[in-house]
Chain A
Amino acid sequence: MSTRLNLTLSIWRQADADSPGRFETYPAKDIPDDASFLEMLDIVNEGLIENGQEPIEFPHDCREGICGTCGVMINGRAHGQEKGTATCQLHMRKFNDGDTIVIEPWRAAAFPVIKDLVVDRSPLDRIIEAGGYIGAPTGTAPDANEILIPKEVADSSMDAAACIGCGACVAACPNSAAQLFTSAKLWHLNSLPQGQTERFRRSENMVETMEEFFGSCTNHGECTEACPKEISQDFIAYMNRDYVKSKVFNRRLAGQH
């Protein structure tokens, strides 16, 4: 049997985007240290339901650290203190008996609270919609091995593509900037041979859509620190380079001026 922990939780409760929120304190008793952080919340919620209190809403789904649904601020840090770990993969053995844990939703103007710990992250989809794809309609593809991609390039592209779209980078950023999210998608596609034809159009559209919703990057680096996939901040530099170039190389503009 695993060790049991007794904890005090201070959790943000908020009925909806328009209502004021507040911290409520809940005891979390007899929590097995093999439980995940979200299983700890499950146990607390079952107790609340038994007492006729509304359970705490929190975002979660796959619980394998890949779907990107989960994510809360744990003691002021996005996804908690363990590096490279989504909230669902954080386990209670990382906490000590008697700890007080403060749990809040992602904090960013672009992510309004829906209820309790759940926020609206739809602006991230708007960025993808603006150009986070390669225009390759079904049926048009050449044989896969006709496109040679050096292993180093594929690996680097994959490093960026590993982003799970959880929004921790935005929540951790003092400016609520989405540069890490946007640059990860841009580098995934811009670094590949298949992504070249739309490279500058994509860069321009995605960056400008991002700026409609989010703050600006001032290179604090909190994003990479909080990222459960440890996506490198270097991609932001590549994005900035491509964005500047897009203003010169964008073929549509070049043809018109």
Chain B
Amino acid sequence: MTDTSISQSSPLLDSKVPEGPIEDKWDNHRFKIKLVNPANKRKFRIIVVGTGLAGASAAATLAELGYNVDAFTYHDSPRRAHSISAQGGINAAKNYRNDGDSIYRLFYDTVKGGDYRSREANVYRLAQVSVDIIDQMTAQGVPFAREYGGLLDNRSFGGAQVSRTFYARGQTGQQLLLGAYQQMMRQVDAGKVNLHTDEEMLELVVKDGVAVGIVCRNVVTGEISKHSAHAVVLATGGYSNAFYLSTNAMACNTTAIWRAHRKGALFANPCFTQIHPTCIPASDEFQSKLTLMSESLRNDGRIWVPRNHDETRPAGQIPEAERFYYLEEKYPSFGNLVPRDVASRNAKTVVDQGLGVGPLKNGVYLDFADAIGRDGKDKIEERYGNLFQMYERITGEDPYRVPMRIYPATHYTMGGLWVDYNLMTTIPGCFSAGEANFSDHGANRLGASALMQGLADGYFVLPYTIGNYLAPLLGHDPVPTDDPAFVETEQDVKDRISRFLSIGGTRSPEYFHRELGKLVWEYIGMERNKAGLEKALTEIPALREEFWSDVRVLGNNESLNSSLEKVGRIADFFELGELMARDALDRTESCGGHFRIESQTPEGEALRDDENYSHVSAWEWKGPDTPQVKHAEELVFEEVELTQRSYK
């Protein structure tokens, strides 16, 4: 273990936060950073990996500015990126409701919601540009919900007492992604974005400590290709699938950022994972994923469990007095709209007490009977129709008539590649945007903030800050792909693929993923403790060894082979899972989504240790058989006073 009493930031982790009052930092920075003049931008080549909200918006904007962009996605179309599944909405400090919102309040709520483990300057910038995002997406034709007068509508979300969430039915992520995708396709048409579909990045190429390109495998043909550029942007999403069962799409993975980590990019706060409170509970071992029901449902649904452990009556027959509305009772001012970590942990508590509902007693009720009685079925259908329909398809139950059953599931990862204020990782030339980086959300992300951050990074931050890195490179061509750095990296990729195909074991990749997921969920899930995390640190490596000797990948490299794609991703999840445990063990405090049983208030809330852990933990790769070394970036709070979060 490393020394945890670090009080100074590691010299590796210069956050580059600009001087000046918080509201002026971004303006000052934009003025001070170097620019690339319009005629020179076309001399630069930028690789963007991932075409979700962050990647597509970055690719589109960089191309509009005049850069040559190569955009990569392993999907058959950029529009498949998992941003598309976000349902509820996107926050912005527009104060259109006249309810007291402001940039400062969004900033404050986000820092507090993140349990004081994020960088103030980044969060303030996020709140500042949030208003531009809504303008931009509206101009692009995103059909946000409107009122009869033609103005934009809003809803409220967990962790906030204002209505600042913009939405497009229950498909906000889809509509925003399609907006960003269309902007990017416009640049494809203009010849400024070279789009590479079906291409999965398998390695980052680093020469003399600087990112110079990537190596990819075409998932359809198996062809390995090398791509060179002045800068590489990784916008490849989060790593919730380390848990196997999560709300992420099946292909979501950590490979791109993990390979960058192995090449020298520090990995920040890997144990900060978010468990979303409103998902459909698992029904059996065969289950391949969990499905999220938007948090917006908590605006109208009431969460409860029966007070009686042996309750057998259907929900509708349980009288009001025998229902335990545990969030409303415990947190009168926020009620059902407490932040996600609080809602999730409370659901676990009541289920662990044996009060769970459903055939496996592994859920809690989310009940719309009152809302339907108050507003009518039509109104509820208008707000949540597609969610209710989805629930009915999956469970075979009609939520207009019986309460939904929900339970928490892994959904988002706040941790990710460490980046400075410019969104650059510790490898010069390698940037990271969106969920793939660690910035902005601290130890817990508020609802409707992921879409905001992805688009902020891609539209309004990276396009400025990348110029500062590129400007001094004017006149330098990208490293040619026959350079030894590329040739060696390509060989590494080919060797690894051959190795997977030649193990010839007895069990499917899926089997190992499922078993790994069970360990990660058990020991690094909603609650963690020292004994469990130490177990994880022995059991995960043991299973990993078994994986490397007993996994069976059939077929060949030269055609579509989803087992081969999957096995490489799982190999990286094994290494990441171990780091998540190491980080969670090191951080003996509780904060946000990271709940150490040993560190809680008398009321059972997360108890921070600001004296020793008010820092970002960023881990440095030291080779496959050596534990990573921790570096700390001290968090300085000048604006927000650190308090015990209270949502009562």
Contacts and interface: CB of A to CB of B under 8 A. Distances in A.
A105 interface: no
Most buried by A among B145, B189, B359: B189
Interface in A134-153: 134-145, 147-151, 153
B85 A34 contact: no
Contact of A121 (B77, B143, B286, B506): B77
A115 B151 contact: no
Given A62-B84, A69-B75, A136 B554 contact: no
B80 A68 contact: yes
Contacts of A165: 77, 79
A150 B82 contact: no
Interface residues of B, number: 82
B249 A62 contact: yes
Q: Is the interface of A mostly helix, strand, loop or mixed?
A: loop
Contacts of A57: 560-562
Contacts of A233: none
Nearest to B76: A121
Contacts of B506: 50
A128 B182 contact: yes
B559 A15 contact: yes
B559 A115 contact: yes
B483 interface: no
A256 interface: no
A138 B250 contact: no
B644 interface: no
Interface residues of A, number: 83
B250 A65 contact: no
B141 A141 contact: no
A69 B198 CA distance: 13
Most buried by B among A84, A85, A158: A158
A157 B251 contact: no
Interface in B162-210: 168-169, 171, 174-175, 178, 181-183, 185-186, 188-189, 197
B135 interface: yes
B4 interface: no
A54 B560 CA distance: 11
Interface stretch (A168-176, A186-194, A238-246): A186-194
Interface stretch (B14-22, B118-126, B287-295, B577-585): B287-295
B487 interface: no
B145 A154 contact: yes
A7 interface: no
A218 interface: no
B136 A161 contact: no
Contacts of B550: none
Nearest to A138: B61
A234 interface: no
B547 to A, nearest CB: 15
A148 B151 contact: yes
A161 B143 contact: yes
Contacts of B459: 138
